[in-house]
Chains A and B, each alone.
Chain A
Amino acid sequence: MATDDSQNVIDQPEVMKPRMATIEIAGKKVEVPEGITVIKAMWYAGIDVVRGIGCLGGFCGACATYYRTKDDPKVKTCLACQTAVQDGMCFTMMPPFPARKATYEIQKLQDPKQDLFNFYPEAPLCRNCNACTEACPQRIDVREGVWKAVFGDFKSVSEMFMDCVMCGMCTPICIADIAPNLVALYVSRAQGAHFVEKPIGLDTRIKEIQDGRFNDEWNNILKMNDKELAEHCATVK
């Protein structure tokens, strides 16, 4: 039954009459509609973007961007696909930063908490400036995480960094040359591979499958014709 939905319209003055904003993209002044995302502002300005875009959903960390708002001296960081432009804003995408990633065989580690200092000897040199925390677009307390890693609290680190999109914006600003996201990745993987209880139910299920516990049921199902199978499916609640 059709009804009239003409009353159910959300007010969006910015859509009806977009205000143009003057922004600077990598030093060049352009006019774009206010409120569109930083990525869309680049497209609007006619810039082809190959590097610096990934999922467009705030999960992949490809679009790490430095920006500043009008008259504010503070250079901030954001994900370009998740940030709206405003008048007077200037921004530049962060180029790939040459951080050093340690390589390791995660399953073969003998003493993961001690090994942290071999893989990332700079990790304990944090000078508490807190710039990494301020740079994190995911609002992770990065500085606290680095200290917890150093003190061996791998569980807390793995929980704190579950939101980490690996954009790497915590790295260029570190005065101790720590790459906190890479440290946290190592710590989280070590936590998962070495310090979490093995789920017994999962091993039981794998063994049941290997031992053919479901074979009779499979045989029964796979010999059904389409109609029988559809009827059988309907009985599964």
Chain B
Amino acid sequence: MDIHALQQIVHKTRDARRKQTIAKFSPADRDQLIHKYHPDFRASAYRPIRFGPNEGEKTVVELATLLEGDSPIHDDLDLTPQYQTDVLVIGGGGAGCAAALHAHGAGTKTILATKLRLGDSNSVMAQGGMQVSVAPEDSPVTHFLDTLKGGHMENDHALLKVMVEEGPSIAKWLLELGVLFDRQADGNLHVKKGGGSSKPRLVTCSDYTGLEIMRVLKDEVLNQKIQLLEFVAAIELLSDDSGACTGAIFKDLDNQRHVVVAAKSVILATGGIGRLHIQGFPTSNHYGATGDGLCLSYRMGAKLAHIDTFQYHPSGAVYPEQLIGALVTEGIRSEGGQLVNAKGDRFVNELDTRDVVSSSIIRECEEGRGIRTMSGRVGVWLDTPILNVEHGAGTVEKHFPAMMLQFERFGIDISKDPVLIYPTLHYQNGGVKIDTNSETNVKNLFVAGEASGGLHGRNRLMGNSLLDLMVYGKRSGLTAAGRAGSMKQGKLTLEHLERFRAEAKQHGNVSGVISPMILPAYTRKAG
């Protein structure tokens, strides 16, 4: 059928739906729904990791294969460093920039290396906002409790307490750097309500929050003249004889040469795994989100946490084809956007946590109440025009300019017509286990941002990622910098790799997979 004909049901039922309230699930119903429909519970997609720090624990097959993969490095590689530094930051997104700025600000020599350009990351795409408990009726404690509830009570309490308590001072730091957060008439920060949060707590820059923060942080990294290595991909870490991290080996993607960097501390801020397309899902993630940091730290002996749980953002675009997987910001649901099935019915409280909303959408589609596309996808409607009905003409245009433009390019006006959506692979809830200094169990190896794990439990709340990046980017940068003065550069060896390879051999690892992946293989090879 013509798409407009299929959309009619959304327009027809809008008035009736406006008056309707849908209760959130009780904890028991929520668990039942998630166990039945959430991709985290599709047992066939999982297998135990055969060796290494998380031996015997289950994760998705795609990730397990990479974690067990071999290093591209031959043991006879010349480890004479081309660069020496106090702090080496790997990754140029939000966490990497925050780490580099704080390490540099503390007076230590800092290098920031990234496999794409400075700033190419998921951070730049964050639209929904950053959670900071600034409203008078809110508090860091409430922020803590909301996050814990959203994370199924499995969040690391110490990590979480630090994040919520440092939120307000991080917001102040960003304001001082010139980030233009939205304001109320009285000059205070405007806060929006996000899914799973009991109080309005999202500070925003319209729907360009990540872009605005990243424009400013990138500019500041350049102004501070922090040494940059762009288009170099980390392919192995270096260790000394005590097992502590002492640097990294990169591959220069322009000339395929190896680059060895000696560092007193290494901060991995390499982001998530969306481009592994776990369980065949499309993804909202950037081109480089291939989980490189997980593989590198795992070979060093760093323990991972919660690596069996991933976030499927409820609203990834399904139509048009060009936008499959692209995110339709949760901000639209925060402002009253409703999810509607093919029968014109709502089926979930749109502001429930992401795992609940995603599971509900999958349920609707599996039970035949979805809308199909000819490329074999299925989804439900997100009623976007309702925002203009509820809050006045022009609301969608004013509050969601990025969304408007993205769809307009393909001839769709989201202020007039609903959008077809289905969950998209969005975030790795777990990652490398860290302490409150952002350090792993491997000495002088820090991990910050999405690559780290523990803080978000089994489901991250909207807006907590930007805050996580800034808080733990800062803490890793400051801790690494604070240590540099009293430290000598350790030896550069591949002893950890020898140990890893021996273990792999023992477990008969003959998969032949080389990791990290660096970039996804989208190029058509034949034809």
**Which residues of A pack against B, CB within 8 Å?**
1-5, 7-12, 14-16, 35-37, 40, 43-51, 53-60, 62, 82-84, 101, 103-107, 138-139, 158, 162-166, 185, 188-193, 196-203, 205-206, 209, 214, 217-218, 221-222, 226, 229-230, 232-234, 236-237
Would you call A16 and B519 a contact (CB within 8 A)?
no
Q: How far is the CA of A165 from the CA of B208 in the complex (A)?
A: 10
A124 to B: closest C-beta gap in Å:
22
* CB pair B371 A8 closer than 8 Å: yes
Complex contacts, B409 vs chain A, CB 8 Å: 58, 82-83
Interface pick from B38-46, B215-223, B347-355, B502-510 = B215-223
Contact of A200 among B157, B187, B220 (CB under 8 A): B187
B91: chain A residues within 8 A (beta carbon): none
Taking A55-B287, A198-B187 as contacts, is the C-beta distance between A192 and B374 under 8 angstroms?
Answer: no
Query: Which residue from A35, A51, A217, A232 sits with its C-beta under 8 Å from B322?
Result: A35
Q: Does B13 belong to the interface (CB within 8 Å)?
A: no
CB interface residues, B 102-131, toward A, < 8 Å:
116-117, 119-122, 124-125
| A101: contacting residue among B161, B222, B523, CB under 8 A | B222
Residues of B near A54 (CB, < 8 A) are: 116-117, 119-121, 124, 286-287
Among B171-179, B258-266, B476-484, the stretch in contact with A: B171-179
Q: Is A5's CB under 8 angstroms from B368's CB? A: yes
Given A43-B522, A54-B116, the answer on whether A197 and B183 have CB atoms closer than 8 Å is yes
Q: Of the listed stretches B49-57, B59-67, B144-152, B448-456, name the one at the interface; the rest are far from the partner chain.
A: B144-152
- Which of A51, A105, A226 has the most B CB atoms < 10 Å from its CB? A51
- Does residue B527 face the partner (Cβ distance < 8 Å to A)? yes
Residue of chain A at shortest CB distance from B144:
A221
Q: Which residue of A lies closest to B283 (CB)?
A: A56
| B405 interface residue (CB < 8 Å to A) | yes
Check B124 against A193 for contact (C-beta < 8 Å): no
| Whole-angstrom CA separation of A50 from B232 in the bound complex | 11
Chain B positions within 8 Å of A14 at CB level: 321
Q: Residues 125-168 of chain B: 1 if any A CB is under 8 Å from the residue's CB, otherwise 0?
A: 10000001111100111101110110001000100010001001
Q: Could you tell me which residues of chain B, from 181 to 202, have a CB within 8 Å of some CB in chain A? A: 183, 187-189, 198
Structural contact, A193 and B139, CB atoms closer than 8 A: no
Contact between chains at A206 and B168 (CB < 8 Å): yes
Judged by a CB distance under 8 angstroms, whether B95 is at the interface is no
User: Which one of B1-9, B70-78, B242-250, B459-467 is at the A interface?
Assistant: B1-9
CA distance A211 to B215 in the complex (A): 33
Inside 8 A of B116's CB, which chain A residues have their CB?
A: 50, 53-54, 62
Tell whether A53 pairs with B180 under 8 Å between CB atoms, given A11-B2, A59-B125. Answer: no
Chain B residues with Cβ below 8 Å from A166 are 215, 218
A234 and B141 form a contact (CB under 8 A): no
Decide if B148 touches A233 in the complex (CB within 8 Å).
Answer: yes
Contact pattern, B 3-23, Cβ under 8 Å of A = 1, otherwise 0: 100100000000000000000
Contact across chains for A3 and B371 when beta carbons are under 8 A apart: no
CB pair A165 B153 closer than 8 Å: no
| A39 to B: closest C-beta gap in Å | 9
Of B169, B210, B342, B523, which is in contact with the most chain A CB atoms at under 10 Å from its CB?
B523
Whole-angstrom distance between the Cβ of B24 and the nearest chain A Cβ: 10
B1 touches A214 (CB 8 A): no
On whether the beta carbons of A9 and B286 are closer than 8 Å, the reply is no
The answer to whether B168 and A12 have CB atoms under 8 Å apart is no
CB distance from A71 to the nearest CB of B (A): 22
B319 touches A10 (CB 8 A): yes
A35 and B321: CB pair below 8 A? yes
Does B402 sit within 8 A of A, measured CB to CB? yes
Q: Is the CB–CB distance between A58 and B406 below 8 Å? A: yes
Can you name the residue of chain A whose Cβ is closest to the Cβ of B526? A46
Q: How far is the CB of A177 from chain B (nearest CB, A)?
A: 19
Chain A residues with Cβ under 8 A from B2's Cβ?
Answer: 10-11
Contact B165 A46 (CB under 8 A): no
Q: Which chain A residue has the least Cβ–Cβ distance from B146?
A: A236
- Given known contacts A54-B121, A165-B211, A202-B168, what 10 new A-B pairs fall within 8 Å (CB)? A10-B372, A43-B522, A57-B284, A58-B409, A101-B219, A103-B222, A191-B178, A202-B188, A206-B168, A214-B141
> With a CB–CB cut-off of 8 A, which chain A residues contact B366?
2
* Residues of chain A with a CB closer than 8 A to B179's CB: 192
B interface, size bucket: 35 or more
For residue B332, CB closer than 8 A to chain A, the reply is: no
**Most chain A Cβ neighbours within 10 Å, of B171, B205, B218, B522:** B522
16 residue pairs bridging A and B, Cβ less than 8 Å apart: A9-B372, A12-B321, A15-B321, A56-B287, A59-B210, A60-B120, A60-B286, A82-B322, A83-B409, A162-B208, A163-B401, A203-B172, A205-B134, A209-B168, A214-B141, A236-B149
Task: Look across to chain A and name the residue whose beta carbon is closest to the beta carbon of B410.
Answer: A84
- Asked if A221 and B188 sit within 8 Å, CB to CB, the answer is no
Q: Is the CB of A229 within 8 A of B286?
A: no
In this complex, what residue of A is CB-closest to B136? A201
Cβ of B375 within 8 Å of any chain A Cβ, yes or no, is yes
B190: min CB distance to chain A, Å: 10
What mask results when residues 490 to 527 of chain B are scored 1 for a CB within 8 Å of chain A, else 0? 00000000000000000000000000000100111101
Contact residues in A for B208 (Cβ distance below 8 Å): 59, 162-163
Q: Which residues from chain A contact B176 at a C-beta distance below 8 Å? A: 107, 193
Instruction: Name the residue on B nearest A101 (C-beta).
Output: B222
B302 adjacent to chain A (CB < 8 Å): no
CB distance from B463 to the nearest CB of A (A): 16
A60 touches B519 (CB 8 A): no
> How far in angstroms is the closest Cβ of chain B from A1?
6
Known contacts A188-B180, A193-B177; decide if A9 and B187 are in contact (CB<8 Å): no
| Residues in chain B near residue A190, CB distance under 8 A | 178
The answer on a CB contact under 8 Å between B286 and A55 is: yes
Please name all residues of chain B whose beta carbon is closer than 8 Å to the beta carbon of A15 when the two chains form the complex.
321, 373-375
**Across the interface, which residues of A come within 8 angstroms of B119, CB to CB?**
54, 60
Q: Mark B344-371, 1 if CB is under 8 A from A, else 0.
A: 0000000000000000000000111111
CA distance A206 to B166 in the complex (A): 8
B136: chain A residues within 8 A (beta carbon): 201
What is the CB-to-nearest-CB distance from A110 to chain B, in angstroms, rounded to a whole number?
Answer: 16
Q: How far is the CA of A16 from the CA of B225 in the complex (A)?
A: 52
List B contacts of A106 (CB < 8 A): 177-178, 220, 223
* A191 contact set on B, CB distance < 8 A: 178, 180
Q: How far is the CA of A16 from the CA of B150 in the complex (A)?
A: 41
Given contacts A162-B205, A166-B215, are A233 and B153 in contact (CB under 8 A)? yes
Contact of B370 among A8, A101, A162 (CB under 8 A): A8
Residues of A within 8 A of B322 (CB): 35-37, 82, 84
